[in-house]
Structures are given as structure tokens and as C-alpha cells.
Amino acid sequence: MALLDILIYPDQRLHKIAKPVEKVDERIKKLIEDMSETMYQAPGIGLAAPQVNVLERIIVVDISESKDSLLSMVNPEIVSSNGLAEHEEGCLSVPGVYAQVQRCENIRVRAQDREGNVFELDAKGMLGICIQHEIDHLDGKVFVDYLSHLKQARIRKKMQKALRLS
């Protein structure tokens, strides 16, 4: 396994739309392993392939305290949702920044697992939020995009300053 570099906002590559995975093969399985290792090392609870500059529709999520409940999803799509809830979110691509974001309270998602098998999953709470957040990355959206233009500008400046200092 290998650690991957995580793109940092406002990197424009974070706003590119990921393409569907045609076939789950050994390359995709290795990417899922590398993404998982990168997410755990960061540390984070979710990571999408575009965050590591791979424009394919793959996410990994693990909201467990013990970090032993990895959920990998290839070509995930939300097939139904209901309710609205607001929660504080952060992002590995926007380190040190947290903000309230409104998302659906309950979702049903369809995806392929790391073997290519199609499955559906009902998710709510932190898991549902995390999946929606990561699917946004596949669609070229960062949670900052949900904030006011003023907050976006402040965060952009903060991230650019931090990148210059590093």
C-alpha cells in the first residue's frame, strides 16, 4: 500500500467531475487500499478519489472509533433521500476548517463493492452525511461550496496562506 497526496482547497482539480469506473479490477482494488491507508493516516473518516487526483467515482468511508469498518463504494449514487439536517463538517482537503452544512437526513445509496458486486445501503446520521460529502467530491463539489461567498473567500485566503507558509 502507498500513501497518496491529498489535494488542498482551493486546488481547481477538486472541482472536476469524476468518471464512472468501467470495471472493478486489480488496479481499482489497489487504489481502494491506497485511499484507505491515506484516509486512516490523515486521519479522516472519508476520502474520495478526486481528493487524491484520481477522477474516478470511488469513495472510502469508516466512521467507526476502532477504524475497522471500512466501507468502499465504486460508482455510488443516491437513489432516494428524505429529511433535512444540519451538521458540522470538515474535510481532509480543507484542513482545520469546519462549518455547518445542511444535508439529507436519510439516504439510500447504490454502489459496487471492491469485488464489483452491486449493493444498496440505507444510511443516516454520520454515515449518511459522510457518504453525501464524499459523493459531492465525485461531482466536483467541496463542502465550502455550500457556504456564503464571504465565508468561501475567507477560507480560500486562509488555505492559500497556509500553503505559502508550508
Q: Which residues are catalytic?
A: 134
* Cα distance between residue 133 and residue 89, in whole Å: 9
What's the Cα-to-Cα distance from 77 to each of 12, 54, 131, 135, rounded to whole Å?
A: 23, 18, 10, 8
Alpha helices in 14-124 (DSSP H): 26-41
Compute the C-alpha angle 132/54/130, nearest 5°: 15
